[in-house]
Amino acid sequence: MKQTPLHDEHVALNGRMVDFAGWHLPIQYPTGIPQEHLAVRQDAGVFDVSHMGQLRILGPDATPFLSWATLNDPAKLRPGRGQYSMLQNDRGGLIDDLYVYRDVDESFLVVANAANVDAVLGHLQALATAPTPGPFRVVVRDESDAWALLAVQGPSAAAKLDRLADADLTAVRKNRLVDTTLSGMPVRLARTGYTGEDGFEVFCRPVDAAAVWRLLLEAGVAPCGLGARDTLRLEAGFPLFGHELDDRSNPLCTPFAWVVKDKPAFGLEALRAGACPRRLVGLVLEGRGIARDGYRVLDEAGGEIGRVTSGTVSPLTRTSIALAWVDAAHADEGARIAVEIRGQPVVATVTPPPFYRP
């Protein structure tokens, strides 16, 4: 199993280590998932997300290339800004969801899910060299080993980081990048995250990762594991590739249709041609129990009308929430359906995410 530069820090903190996409990472620390979740909602927490992949897209055609390859529009990014995006196949589905940062004019940093780095890299390299509409004058290379990545999230995250950083972080707006130093260590900060809270993602050199991590812990930022990362993103209504999204998911049938911009793009016709027999919706359950990945969604007659993709109980509100693909006829806000939990139907209401707003 692969280890991030923070592996020994997690072990020293008694993190409960699991295999996540081939990486040895903490699902939680002894404090537990609900407490870590609340730390991020009420104060500040830090996650090791160094397992995520970083790809460099570089060259005179970098912008037109990424514009063709991804569903959001990187041409709208000025240098120093980032955007959520998706990488589509040509069969009406997705290869991954991404964060795309433009650091300088024709150089982009693409952050991909750990499990998909190889697929994303292979797809982008193939698209770059394809004769139509390319070939594009770009280099696509894997820089994952060059970066450690820490997500610092929560209402106090910016203030706590600001005290450690040389730059004035209060002036950095959402989706912006800033290059600065933390206690002399060079870092690139992006005001983004996956929790629904304000915060920054901290790109640093792997050799500095442990020192940055300790600096944050000393500043009162709580260490948080993958478990809280999952409950937080679900409460915020964000998809997790492999659960809500996969190679057959049409983003136009999800709450993230806004990502798909009106410009020529690889595979776009297949997405546009696809109908939406099912839609990705949020569910709030009225009964007890967690609607887990793969559980059946039922109509009033008990017939299957969909499947749950992720579910949890909100540590904040104790409400049982889920994301699910359900038949379009039952996907409107307020529709009352049920989730089958251990053989029993539990009533749920279709509720557009997010389930929580800071």
Partner 1 sequence: MKIPQELRFAASHEWATEPADGIVTVGISDFAQDQLGDVVFVELPDVGRTLAAGEAAAVVESVKTASDIYAPLAGEVVEVNGALLDAPEAINTDAYGEGWLFRLRVTDPEAWGGMLDADAYAAVAEEG
Summarize as ranges the residues that interact with partner 1 (CB under 8 A): 27-28, 32-34, 227, 231, 288-290, 292, 312-313, 318, 320, 342
Contacts of residues 181-186 at CB distance under 8 Å and 24 or more positions apart, as own/partner, are: 182/212, 182/215, 183/211, 183/215, 185/211, 185/212
* Nearer CB in complex with partner 1: 74/227: 227
Whole-number minimum distance, CB 353 to partner 1, in Å? Answer: 19
* Nearer CB in complex with partner 1: 38/112: 38
**Inter-residue contact 260 to 252 (CB < 8 Å):** yes
Query: What are the angstrom distances between the C-alpha of 216 and each of 84, 94, 152, 182, 223?
Result: 26, 35, 8, 10, 9
Whole-number minimum distance, CB 36 to partner 1, in Å? Answer: 10
* Nearer CB in complex with partner 1: 42/180: 42
Whole-number minimum distance, CB 295 to partner 1, in Å? Answer: 11
Peptide bond into 354 cis (omega under 30): yes
* Nearer CB in complex with partner 1: 253/283: 283
Whole-number minimum distance, CB 154 to partner 1, in Å? Answer: 19
* Nearer CB in complex with partner 1: 48/230: 230
Whole-number minimum distance, CB 32 to partner 1, in Å? Answer: 5
Q: How many CB atoms lie within 10 A of CB 248?
A: 12
Whole-number minimum distance, CB 118 to partner 1, in Å? Answer: 28
* Nearer CB in complex with partner 1: 158/313: 313
Q: DSSP secondary structure string, 71-101?
A: SS-GGGPPTTEEEEEEEE-SSSSEEEEEEEE
Question: Exposure of 339 by Cβ count < 10 A (0-12 exposed, 13-18 middle, 19+ buried)?
Answer: buried
- Report the distance separating Cα 117 and Cα 101, nearest Å: 16
